[in-house]
A and B are shown apart, each in its own frame.
Chain A
């Protein structure tokens, strides 16, 4: 066993030093090299290749470390010397940490390879050393977050993660929207961190130690009220990072502003750090005594996030903003699993809680792969066309066939269609929720059907949104010169997308791979402490808790392929080869159709905007210039705005309260030094009086 530990320590050391070197070395070369090397481009591409290759190698080491813990089931624990006060300073990789480390490393590996090609777009234009430094620092801080076993260390890495992403959002800082997004992000994320500090202090007050091992100790329980305060702090603090509604407002601004490889990491992985924190606190620290309202609260947050996330995504025509709203939706779906787990655990049904949590964690992995893939695809489109506005795109499937194909796989996966991975985790979530029907508790009996209904609604709306996103972007005729002049991306970008697409298929058709790893993980958490009892065998996944509900995605995939050959063969036997004639699309009697006659993204989502008009509160303005005759209108401007309920009714009042109270406080700030001296004197007198 000693060998195994040594070997894993080596992987850990390799990964951590790798990221650190990947951050520092290119930065040093960048600073030193300016003086020595004349050609900036040569220098920058060296920095780029070196930095992203080191990141790739480190993330592969992370994958190895994660797999070794997950497969052997033996946690890794490393104490760091010299230690800080209040508990041992340590890194740990238990099953939960190792799983999230695996998610980070898997996506980071693909994104690092992608960046080798993608970042060439920044040569000559941007500071490459800065990008590489921040990129590696971002990856290092995320791995640090999941590996920390001490609150100080955790908060350090948490802040490092927030700050590195703040600078990455501001990477293209000439854009005022990026600066605004960065500011909003840093304000919101620090609101979250403040609550996390409160949470850790409360946990400290219970144990007198800041080490995670002490938090887990069931010996000294806090009163239920304090437990609930900790729960709320964790939900809000981690919820800001995860982007739950109504704490999501930074997310659709920040994710599109960052470079696309960073967006893929932020959306695919960084949001999951919030989920990691929640699972760690709810099921590990707060342990088995869970009141019922926790689960209900999380379920409410989950359905709000998922339904509103997908509805807002439908009205977007900025490809990256659209994907960012879908991240909110998917976080909602993940939280349905976690909320269900809390609810079932509070009612003592541990196997069911285990199943629900397993479904949520499965969706964590799946969302990371397909959302990573989709953001990389969006980056590829942005790289080729220099626009994120899908109203200006179209016809890219002919210009960028590989990007289109992989984006389509991602779109099918995120729409939860069989046999890809999104379908499997949503199926598990449905199963877990439907099994709640056997619990005879009135709250559950009302909460569960509503959650199920809204999960079904979310899935259907997501499919509608991705028909729009893929169809308008890649199909039809190019709507602008940007799309007309597009070209396929470089090999490294295509290969990275391809590898994530393969993962979407593998995690779809071979759920036993994932479930067999996740089940021991979930069982090891004190808050659940039971197996989800998913039977695996012959590619089949069976839930014995119900009366044998089962699917076999592998057989489904196989049958689907076989069944596709059937009509091909039947058609051939009956009518011979397909005789084809290629002509222009029918133009309703006009000579030919033009790109402007196609449906737009705004037009596509119109029926849904009408159906859900109460939620959108859309206002539109039509401006028509009539110069010569009402029949020939040279210019029609159509502007559509949807109202964000949360900005108007939550954030604006809060903003006014804060600004108002700041104005009140300002009255004592006169600006005269005499007044301030008087304040000091008064304070001194008061202190002397009380300290006597």
Chain B
């Protein structure tokens, strides 16, 4: 019984938190962007209604598509749920922290992306291939950029275990202002914008063939399949915001399972994610979408920032 309380329950709570919070964060970003454009915008609960509707709707499948098309939504959703179990949000150490580290998290994202890109090619549509090609090209720069940014935090802590990194950083608040740390943070912020398909890299709101990346790959999805793919993308955004806040500024995180600590941790997490979501919305509203072949330059900036962070850490130490 005590195993259930200390092991399974926290893991499930963490998963439910990310699952439930994800559409809300997207709703908030959408609302903020609408206000920037002097629109009323949809309510912040709109993504929940969309998901509920999509889950009930009929699925349209291309006659060209294979089993890869039908399995991918479940696989992507599953890998995102697994990541949600591994990334610290409210409390450290996580019950499953020994199962997978930060390299695992990045690789699990890559696993989901691999299959979504295959879906792009599966239906025989030119748009799908276009999206898959762009997504994999962009990923080939941002994935290493992300690794380097997070490795900067990892070598500071001397471990790639996410819970240990967060715990170490909480105990030495001074290292949060380390220049290497700040460089890595800015690198990871650009990575977040790119990975979650935000302006200036991709625009989640349009289906314009000149610019679309993520939407092009999943163009043929509908109904329940689309619901799971969309929900996974929303969770991905929350997980990235959690990484950005907790890997670099783990303020207010709960270190034990006491109800008071959990309440404080939960409130702190919520506040951090809302602030970061607002920042994402502001960046999206105040920047123009980059021309596709200018995007690699931006991503190279992220890569170089992260590499500099790592080398800087090496030369001057923490």
A residues adjacent to B (C-beta < 8 A): 394-395, 397-398, 408, 412, 415-418, 423, 427, 430-431, 434, 437-438, 445-446, 448-450, 452-453, 456-457, 459-461, 463-464, 466-468, 470-472, 475-477, 540, 542, 546-552, 555-556, 559-560, 563-564, 566-568, 571, 574-575, 578-586, 588, 593, 595, 597-599, 603-608, 610-611
| Contact call B307/A547, Cβ cutoff below 8 A | no
| Contact call B81/A566, Cβ cutoff below 8 A | yes
Residues of A contacting B52 with CB < 8 Å?
Answer: 574
Instruction: Provide the bound-state CA to CA distance between A585 and B136, in Å.
Output: 22
| Contact call A598/B126, Cβ cutoff below 8 A | yes
Q: Which residue from A438, A445, A551, A578 sits with its C-beta under 8 Å from B100? A: A551
Q: Which residue from A438, A457, A584 sits with its C-beta under 8 Å from B144? A: A457
Most chain B CB atoms below 10 A, which of A423, A446, A464, A588: A464
Residues of B contacting A547 with CB < 8 Å?
Answer: 157-159, 161, 164, 168
Instruction: Provide the bound-state CA to CA distance between A415 and B303, in Å.
Output: 20
Residues of B contacting A466 with CB < 8 Å?
Answer: 114
Asked if A427 meets B78 with Cβ closer than 8 Å, knowing A415-B114, A445-B315, the reply is no
Q: Which residue from B132, B154, B155, B227 sits with its C-beta under 8 Å from A471? A: B132
Q: Which residue from B103, B120, B168, B296 sits with its C-beta under 8 Å from A430? A: B103
The 10 closest A-B pairs by CB, nearest first: A599-B129, A471-B121, A456-B144, A563-B78, A607-B137, A464-B136, A547-B159, A460-B143, A445-B314, A585-B62
What are 19 of the A-B contact pairs (CB < 8 Å)? A418-B107, A456-B143, A464-B136, A471-B118, A475-B121, A550-B99, A550-B161, A559-B82, A563-B82, A564-B74, A578-B223, A581-B58, A593-B64, A598-B129, A599-B128, A604-B129, A607-B293, A607-B296, A610-B296
Does any Cβ of A come within 8 Å of B14's Cβ?
A: no
| Contact call A476/B121, Cβ cutoff below 8 A | yes
CB-CB nearest in chain A for B60: A581
| Contact call B122/A597, Cβ cutoff below 8 A | no
Instruction: Provide the bound-state CA to CA distance between A579 and B60, in Å.
Output: 8
Residues of B contacting A434 with CB < 8 Å?
Answer: 151, 154-155, 160
Asked if A563 meets B141 with Cβ closer than 8 Å, knowing A434-B155, A470-B118, the reply is no
Instruction: Provide the bound-state CA to CA distance between A571 and B78, in Å.
Output: 13
| Contact call A611/B296, Cβ cutoff below 8 A | yes
Instruction: Provide the bound-state CA to CA distance between A107 and B141, in Å.
Output: 34
Does any Cβ of A come within 8 Å of B73's Cβ?
A: yes
| Contact call A607/B107, Cβ cutoff below 8 A | no
CB-CB nearest in chain A for B107: A418
A435 to chain B minimum Cβ distance, whole angstroms, is: 9
| Contact call A574/B59, Cβ cutoff below 8 A | no
A122 to chain B minimum Cβ distance, whole angstroms, is: 31
B111 to chain A minimum Cβ distance, whole angstroms, is: 4
Instruction: Provide the bound-state CA to CA distance between A427 and B51, in Å.
Output: 36
Asked if A542 meets B98 with Cβ closer than 8 Å, knowing A475-B121, A564-B74, A566-B81, the reply is yes
| Contact call A603/B107, Cβ cutoff below 8 A | no
Residues of B contacting A412 with CB < 8 Å?
Answer: 111, 114
Instruction: Provide the bound-state CA to CA distance between A438 and B313, in Å.
Output: 11
Instruction: Provide the bound-state CA to CA distance between A566 and B79, in Å.
Output: 11
Most chain B CB atoms below 10 A, which of A438, A452, A588, A603: A452
A525 to chain B minimum Cβ distance, whole angstroms, is: 27
| Contact call B160/A549, Cβ cutoff below 8 A | yes
Instruction: Provide the bound-state CA to CA distance between A687 and B31, in Å.
Output: 98
Given contacts A546-B158, A579-B58, 18 further A-B contacts (CB under 8 A): A430-B160, A437-B155, A460-B140, A466-B114, A468-B136, A547-B164, A555-B96, A556-B104, A563-B77, A566-B81, A567-B73, A567-B74, A567-B77, A585-B65, A588-B126, A593-B64, A593-B126, A611-B141
Residues of A contacting B58 with CB < 8 Å?
Answer: 579-581
Does any Cβ of A come within 8 Å of B224's Cβ?
A: yes
Instruction: Provide the bound-state CA to CA distance between A15 and B113, in Å.
Output: 45
Interface residues on B, range: 35 or more
B102-129 contact mask (Cβ, 8 Å, vs A): 1 or 0: 0110011011011001101111111011
Q: Which residue from B73, B99, B136, B154 sits with its C-beta under 8 Å from A463? A: B136
| Contact call A452/B148, Cβ cutoff below 8 A | yes
Instruction: Provide the bound-state CA to CA distance between A301 and B55, in Å.
Output: 52
A504 to chain B minimum Cβ distance, whole angstroms, is: 14
Residues of B contacting A408 with CB < 8 Å?
Answer: 68
B139 to chain A minimum Cβ distance, whole angstroms, is: 6
Asked if A574 meets B56 with Cβ closer than 8 Å, knowing A597-B126, A599-B121, the reply is yes
Does any Cβ of A come within 8 Å of B66's Cβ?
A: yes
Residues of B contacting A418 with CB < 8 Å?
Answer: 100, 104, 107-108, 111
Residues of B contacting A470 with CB < 8 Å?
Answer: 118
| Contact call B85/A559, Cβ cutoff below 8 A | yes
| Contact call A417/B111, Cβ cutoff below 8 A | yes
Instruction: Provide the bound-state CA to CA distance between A466 and B115, in Å.
Output: 11
| Contact call B98/A540, Cβ cutoff below 8 A | yes
Does any Cβ of A come within 8 Å of B21's Cβ?
A: no
Most chain A CB atoms below 10 A, which of B55, B103, B310: B103
Instruction: Provide the bound-state CA to CA distance between A463 and B151, in Å.
Output: 21
B27 to chain A minimum Cβ distance, whole angstroms, is: 20
B70 to chain A minimum Cβ distance, whole angstroms, is: 9
Residues of A contacting B151 with CB < 8 Å?
Answer: 434, 452
CB-CB nearest in chain B for A555: B99
Does any Cβ of A come within 8 Å of B262's Cβ?
A: no
Asked if A598 meets B148 with Cβ closer than 8 Å, knowing A417-B114, A566-B81, the reply is no
B158 to chain A minimum Cβ distance, whole angstroms, is: 5
CB-CB nearest in chain A for B209: A588
B146-184 contact mask (Cβ, 8 Å, vs A): 1 or 0: 011001001101111100100010000000000000000
| Contact call B82/A464, Cβ cutoff below 8 A | no
Q: Which residue from A475, A564, A584, A606 sits with its C-beta under 8 Å from B133? A: A606
Asked if A599 meets B228 with Cβ closer than 8 Å, knowing A463-B139, A464-B139, the reply is no
Instruction: Provide the bound-state CA to CA distance between A394 and B85, in Å.
Output: 37
Residues of B contacting A598 with CB < 8 Å?
Answer: 121, 124-126, 129
Instruction: Provide the bound-state CA to CA distance between A254 and B314, in Å.
Output: 43
A180 to chain B minimum Cβ distance, whole angstroms, is: 33
Instruction: Provide the bound-state CA to CA distance between A567 and B61, in Å.
Output: 19
Q: Which residue from B104, B121, B140, B219 sits with its C-beta under 8 Å from A472? A: B121
B265 to chain A minimum Cβ distance, whole angstroms, is: 22
Asked if A593 meets B125 with Cβ closer than 8 Å, knowing A459-B143, A463-B114, A607-B137, the reply is yes
Asked if A584 meets B74 with Cβ closer than 8 Å, knowing A467-B121, A552-B98, A604-B132, the reply is no
| Contact call A467/B307, Cβ cutoff below 8 A | no
B147 to chain A minimum Cβ distance, whole angstroms, is: 4
Residues of B contacting A456 with CB < 8 Å?
Answer: 143-144, 147-148
A484 to chain B minimum Cβ distance, whole angstroms, is: 13
Instruction: Provide the bound-state CA to CA distance between A540 and B161, in Å.
Output: 13
| Contact call B125/A437, Cβ cutoff below 8 A | no
Instruction: Provide the bound-state CA to CA distance between A566 and B82, in Å.
Output: 11
Residues of A contacting B219 with CB < 8 Å?
Answer: 586
Residues of B contacting A556 with CB < 8 Å?
Answer: 82, 99-100, 104
A415 to chain B minimum Cβ distance, whole angstroms, is: 6
Residues of A contacting B8 with CB < 8 Å?
Answer: none
Does any Cβ of A come within 8 Å of B75's Cβ?
A: yes
A348 to chain B minimum Cβ distance, whole angstroms, is: 19
Asked if A607 meets B160 with Cβ closer than 8 Å, knowing A434-B154, A571-B228, the reply is no
